[in-house]
Amino acid sequence: MFGIINFEAFVIAGILLNLTPGADTMYILGRSISQGKKAGILSVLGIVTGALVHCVFASLGLSIILAKSALAFEIVKYLGAAYLIYLGIKTLLLKSKEEFELTEKNKDVNYRKIYVSGILTNVLNPKIALFFLAFLPQFINPDYAQNSIPFLILGLTFVTTVTIWCLFLAVFSSKLSNQIRKNYKIKIWLDKITGGIFIALGIKLALSKK
């Protein structure tokens, strides 16, 4: 249907890929553990929004530019790496308070920024775009290669499974963090670990190759 082949195999492969820890997974876990469930969920929504952007780009063929242009790939890669490192440094420099408000209405947390950060973290990762271009065509009939519909269907299917898995991670990890975050010293270390994760992800992205 719509030029899609082996759809069941695609779904299974997509789920297995979701279970493999990656940059998005670490980003979500970092947000959930250090800032709570709402922050984790919004980071998931941001990541998913970024994935949808890549999905649309792939279906329109725009991501091919990243695959064929070394300069374009390098520019987007370093922008993404710089942004992740910036997030990490900013988190490391946060001044923790002696007491914490553990409610979801914590005024110190800018949830809009968390959502936008999730989008930028995903959109500025060119390897995500290349993933869509390399993975999706394997399940599309060559006769439909110029048709955007099969790309959209497969892309949206993958994004759906990603959303379900990441929401589970965000909620589960935030439940553990509610107990951990009651301890002042542990909260400080969580911030440092989260900042370190962001910096490490940025360096890894900067050193990555096509």
pLDDT digits (tens, 9 = 90+) for 71-125: 766 776 787 678 778 777 877 776 554 444 444 444 566 788 889 988 988 888 7
Which pLDDT score is estimated for 160? Answer: 92
75: left (phi over 0), alpha (psi -120 to 50) or beta: alpha
* Per-residue pLDDT tens over the stretch 132-169: 776 777 787 777 766 778 888 888 998 899 899 999 98
The confidence band for 47, taking pLDDT boundaries of 50, 70 and 90, is very high
Instruction: Identify the bridge partners of residue 140 per DSSP, sorted by sequence position.
Output: 4
Q: How far apart are CA 55 and CA 132, in angstroms?
A: 7
Which pLDDT score is estimated for 190? Answer: 64
- Output the pTM of the full model: 0.67
What are residue 46's phi and psi, to 5 degrees? -65, -45
Provide CB contacts within 8 A for 188, sequence distance 6+: 96
10-19, 52-61, 180-189: least confidently modelled range:
180-189
